[in-house]
Structure 1
Amino acid sequence: MSVAEPRRIVLFRHAKADWPQVTDHERPLAERGRLDAAAAGRRIADTGISFDLALCSTATRTRETWKLAVHEFPHRPKTVYEERIYEASPGELIAVLNETPDDVHDLVLIGHNPGIHGLTDILCGESEGDARERLDRRGFPAAAFALLTHEGSWKSLEPGVARLVDYWAPSE
């Protein structure tokens, strides 16, 4: 893989969670979340990207979201459950992404707000079509994702270097 080829990153917020009497980390998906996670998986699969790696928060709701979404993919990427994604700031998420091996071309990161939304805003230096307008209008609701491209190594990923190519959120 040449570094000249754009790397693709999907930043994916977990689907709608339920509020049972458990710790925040252990909150499961709500019924609507299960439906939206599968719909998001179909929409991500429609991009035609064959992901090399998925980085997923260890929280129950992110693991459940990923399990339902990846079921819709034609190819299951290697998945790493990363504790540092839970409650991470955009800067902490960039640090996790900077550690990605150079042989990984395309990845999906499944995490939480406000980190995922903040990371999208911080990385996005440019955008295509109306993706930025849709993101600004909708925010980053549960099960939403942003597709960004970056021309460079993972170590060079920093604020303003990515292009927002697509944005999707479930209908309300």
Structure 2
Amino acid sequence: MMKLSLRSCVQWLMLVCIVCVVGLFPSSHSVAAQVSSAPLIQHQNTATDSCFSLDVAVIVDQSNSMRDTNDREEFRIIAAREVIAQLGFNRLYLCPDAIHRIAIISFGDTTVVELPFTPLTPQTPADWKEERIRLGNEITPKSLDATHFIAAFAETKRLFDELPPVTDSSLPRKRAVLIIRGLC
């Protein structure tokens, strides 16, 4: 049996998170983007009904083991910020009528709501850059002792239950992204 290194485990976890986030994009869109400060976006929107609003809770393991051993590079913070970035990209370039809301919950032996459900409302790339930085700064590395999922899940459920309804006609799809160290 091959023993996986810490870096391999973290990369695998990041891949899982990215696969979850990629599912946020409607399948009827063809997207090509260049990586630069002003990306060139080409897309075809052949079925606007494939766009839908999302309520996404990002639940981040911030236990001591994440800080001390499993994620010294703070990939968990990068992953949470990437979920924010992908949702905003979706709203700005692909589904401008969608109402996406995001929450970030950190957990260890306690649960901390880093960001209560907040609508993502970019209108321009410049607006989105500012909003993305502001929201991304809401999550910071912490050391919250032991790993206790139950309280984090209960808090996430409470946040979902207390969400006011959206004003558009579509019901948002509720999703949770769990960022943990994985089992290696």
Q: TM-score range by the shorter chain?
A: 0.3 to 0.5
Larger radius of gyration: 2
Instruction: Give the TM-score taking structure 2 as reference length.
Output: 0.32
Instruction: Give the TM-score taking structure 1 as reference length.
Output: 0.33
